[in-house]
């Protein structure tokens, strides 16, 4: 038992968090909405992450503290394929499977990440797009993996699914903080985790999180549930609807 406790303590110290002490500050985070409903008129939303830093004895330290907020989810496996031109035709060439690729990742901070922590700490806590751990399956060359990950990051950036802003967090009076994270219209549904990191002198002092649910609502939710729970009947209904619309269009053109 003592050995286990010692191992946990050493792991925490290596990760830069350290054991919880009475002199360490605490975070009280919250989000403007715990659930976002996606309907036919959904064009995106701006999520507000805010909260307070509670210092022991309500005394502000002399050293400046910084805040980093991360909104991430849902994590899922994905297969990336690279196209190459062979004999004038574009075909799928190399491919790679990533087990833990987030469908959405947004990070905001009070200062650039490289000014707050070293590369090792940033990699441990996955702070920044370049530090995402996507867990490739099987053996893959470092150069190939980097090429595929850079391609995915570039694509998701252009779609608005990956977002990075080193000046998104505002800290008032050294205690209150807030950050606005844009959520695009094509964001995937699922459970998201809004994490807040308190950082000082290159060390992560506190971490707190809240869950955010992004879900379909209204008719879109009905269609999605029908496709998931009654796939066969949903397929028949889709084929019947297609035939009906095709027949209606044909009849309309014949009358003209």
Q: What is the pLDDT of residue 3?
A: 39
Identify whether the C-beta of residue 46 lies closer than 8 Å to the C-beta of residue 176.
no
Residues 6+ positions from 58 with CB-CB distance below 8 Å: none
- Measured CA angle at 244 (ends 241, 250), to 5 deg: 140
* Count of beta carbons in the 10 Å neighbourhood of residue 108: 22
**pLDDT of 134 over the 90 cut:** no
Q: Is the pLDDT of residue 226 over 70?
A: no
Q: Mean pLDDT across the stretch 226-241?
A: 69
Residue 11 has a pLDDT of: 42
Q: Percent of the chain scored above 90 by pLDDT? A: 49
More confident residue, 64 or 125: 125
pLDDT band of residue 12 (cuts 50, 70, 90) is: very low
pLDDT tier for residue 161 given thresholds of 50, 70 and 90: very high
Percent residues over pLDDT 70 in the chain = 83
Distance CA 61, CA 15 (A): 23
pLDDT bin (cut points 50, 70, 90) of residue 1 is very low
Give the pLDDT of residue 49. 96
Distance CA 242, CA 118 (A): 57
Kindly provide the b/e burial profile for residues 191-222, where b requires at least 16 CB atoms within 10 angstroms of the residue's own CB.
ebebbbbbbeeeebbbeeebebebebeeebee
The label of the residue with tokens 């987030």 reads 102
Cα angle at 163 between 160 and 169, to 5 degrees?
A: 135
Beta-strand pair 66-86/190-200? antiparallel
| Average confidence (pLDDT) over 116-134 | 93
* pTM of structure: 0.76
Confidence category of residue 50, pLDDT binned at 50, 70, 90: very high
Tell me the average pLDDT across 171-197: 94
Instruction: Say which range, 73-87, 157-171, 192-206, has the weakest mean pLDDT.
Output: 73-87
Categorise residue 202: left if φ over 0, alpha if ψ from -120 to 50, beta otherwise. Answer: left
Contact between residue 52 and residue 175 where contact means Cβ atoms under 8 Å apart: yes
């Amino acid at each position: 038992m003592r050995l286990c406790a010692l191992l946990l303590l050493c792991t925490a110290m290596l990760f830069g968090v350290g054991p919880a002490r009475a002199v360490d500050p605490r975070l009280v985070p919250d989000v403007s909405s715990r659930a976002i409903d996606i309907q036919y008129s959904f064009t995106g939303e701006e999520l507000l992450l805010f909260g307070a830093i509670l210092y022991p004895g309500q005394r502000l330290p002399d050293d400046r503290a910084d805040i980093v907020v991360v909104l991430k989810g849902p994590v899922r496996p994905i297969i990336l394929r690279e196209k190459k031109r062979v004999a004038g035709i574009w075909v799928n060439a190399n491919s790679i499977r990533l087990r833990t690729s987030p469908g959405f990742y947004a990070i905001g901070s009070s200062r650039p990440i490289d000014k707050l922590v070293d590369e090792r700490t940033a990699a441990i806590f996955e702070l920044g797009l370049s530090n995402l751990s996507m867990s490739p399956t099987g053996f893959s060359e470092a150069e190939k993996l980097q090429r595929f990950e850079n391609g995915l990051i570039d694509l998701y950036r252009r779609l608005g699914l990956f977002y990075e802003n080193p000046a998104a967090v505002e800290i008032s009076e050294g205690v209150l903080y807030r950050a606005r994270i844009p959520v695009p219209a094509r964001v995937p549904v699922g459970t998201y985790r809004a994490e807040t990191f308190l950082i000082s002198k290159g060390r992560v002092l506190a971490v707190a999180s809240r869950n955010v649910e992004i879900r379909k609502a209204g008719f879109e939710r009905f269609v999605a549930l029908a496709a998931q729970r009654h796939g066969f009947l949903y397929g028949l209904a889709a084929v019947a609807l297609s035939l009906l619309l095709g027949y209606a269009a044909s009849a309309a053109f014949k009358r003209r």
